[in-house]
Structure 1
Amino acid sequence: MIKKEDISLILADDHPMLLKGLYDELSVNNYNVVGQANNGMQALELVLKLKPTIALLDIDMPLLTGFEVVKMAKEKGTSTKFIILSYHKEIDYITKAKTLQLNGYLLKEDSFFEIERCIEAVLDDEIYFSNSFDNLAIENASEELKRLKLLTPSEVTILKLIVQGMTNTELSDNLGVSVRTVEKHRSNIVNKLEIEGGTNAVINWALKHKDVIIDF
């Protein structure tokens, strides 16, 4: 069992009171908090410089979001484990967390006991979602991610370009394929993602889930 004092942590939240409260609670309970940040860029710099065991990050921060910090740090090959602390319970945020393979996702309403349980689970290489989450929301997020994984690389590329507002003709020119091929890809996307609706169904779905699509 790893001793608490041997677990290095950094904290990031742009709300000073919340940041201080979390720091005080962790420190009183003998955790080794090695850095604090009040914006995403500072959090990223601390992760890369200090290489903490765990980083606890808010999502909505200036300069970089918590999700962007995770993505950029992982691209740099960090071994730090990431736990998100947020008010967001929406399915898109859960799906995004799963897409980025976050180690933990807690809600700011959770007790410190829940935070400790999450830290322990993450250290054991488990994925931990707050017990405050609706199990159905987590299951739906998992199903949504499974459907996205059914897409071919070409279909994923088209979905990402649709998010940018490209028409079929623009997609055809950009990818060097015929409009007919683009239409076939879009039809496959509709079927695999089980998208319902009219002509703009794919566009509407893509825009609604753009944050997940961009990092997929």
Structure 2
Amino acid sequence: MNHNTSILVADDHPVLLKGLRDELLNLEFNVLEGATNGAQALELIVSKKPTIAILDINMPFLTGFEVIKKCQLESLKTKFIILTSYKEKGFVLKAKKMKISGYLLKDEPFSEIKKCIKEVSNGRFYASKVFDDVFNNEISPQIQKIKFLSPSERTIVRLIAGENSTKEIAEILSISTRTVDKHRSNIISKLDLPSDSLSVWVKDNKDLLENV
């Protein structure tokens, strides 16, 4: 029954926070006091140990992701649902990496939140359709491309991501600039990129490079 499921909602927008808590109370969930910032959310999760915590990403003091990471370090059994406006691949990848139980967009109808809570309560991952679209169409294909790079090429790509020039990369790796240029050429070929777009690609996929 719903009253056996305790839920904490954390969002720094008072209207959204109250609206979501009211909807959950109407469904007879055991809804805890709402949190308006990340530090308050963390304190309540640690002390109350809710079944589920629904967190915004951007909150004062601690982000939703930072709250989740700290709770995971404490080995708490609370399951986490991110409720956010962000659909960019960096956020989707981070949620996937942290094994968050649910990922919903704020413009979804409340019926989606209700469905997500049900699935998460039963140990299943649930996300907005856009989450899977971004992962399958934007993240996964790029990860597969990166996996074709050799360890040396991945190192050079990460150094490019750190805004190092060819000369700086050569000095860091104790190789010639000609060797760096050869690696860059091979990387561009493997990633199937136009010859002058490696820096742009690296900037767009910086989050992926940290996870492959």
TM-score (norm 1): 0.74
1:71 pairs with one of 69, 73, 97: 69
How high is the sequence identity, in percent, across the aligned residues? 41
Q: Which amino acid aligns with 1:65?
A: T
For the residues of structure 2 that align with 1:52 and 1:184, how far apart are their CA atoms? 54
Q: Which amino acid aligns with 2:21?
A: Y
Flag the 1:23–1:187 CA change in 2: closer, same or farther, 3 A.
farther
After superposition, what is the alpha-carbon deviation per residue over 1:167-193, rounded to whole angstroms, capped at 9, x for unaligned?
Answer: 45545665x66467866776676566x
2:206 pairs with one of 182, 194, 210: 210
After superposition, what is the alpha-carbon deviation per residue over 1:41-88, rounded to whole angstroms, capped at 9, x for unaligned?
Answer: 332333333332211111222233223333343344333221111122
Point out where structure 1 has 5 or more consecutive residues left out of the alignment.
none
- The answer (yes or no) to whether the contact 1:91–1:140 under 8 Å persists in 2 is no
**Secondary structure of the structure 2 residue equivalent to 1:10:** strand
For the residues of structure 1 that align with 2:180 and 2:42, how far apart are their CA atoms? 38
Structure 1 residue 20: Cα displacement: 0.8
Stretch moving more, 41-50 or 12-21: 41-50
- The answer (yes or no) to whether the contact 2:146–2:154 under 8 Å persists in 1 is no
- What is residue 30 of structure 1 aligned with on the other side? 28
After superposition, what is the alpha-carbon deviation per residue over 1:99-138, rounded to whole angstroms, capped at 9, x for unaligned?
Answer: 322211111122222111101111222111124x386434
Flag the 1:184–1:40 CA change in 2: closer, same or farther, 3 A.
farther
Point out where structure 2 has 5 or more consecutive residues left out of the alignment.
none
Flag the 1:197–1:119 CA change in 2: closer, same or farther, 3 A.
same
- What is residue 108 of structure 1 aligned with on the other side? 106
Flag the 1:177–1:21 CA change in 2: closer, same or farther, 3 A.
farther
Are 2:139 and 1:121 aligned?
no
- What is residue 136 of structure 2 aligned with on the other side? 139
Flag the 1:36–1:191 CA change in 2: closer, same or farther, 3 A.
farther
- The answer (yes or no) to whether the contact 1:92–1:141 under 8 Å persists in 2 is no
For the residues of structure 1 that align with 2:46 and 2:210, how far apart are their CA atoms? 23
For the residues of structure 2 that align with 1:118 and 1:179, how far apart are their CA atoms? 54
- The answer (yes or no) to whether the contact 1:195–1:205 under 8 Å persists in 2 is no
Larger radius of gyration: 2
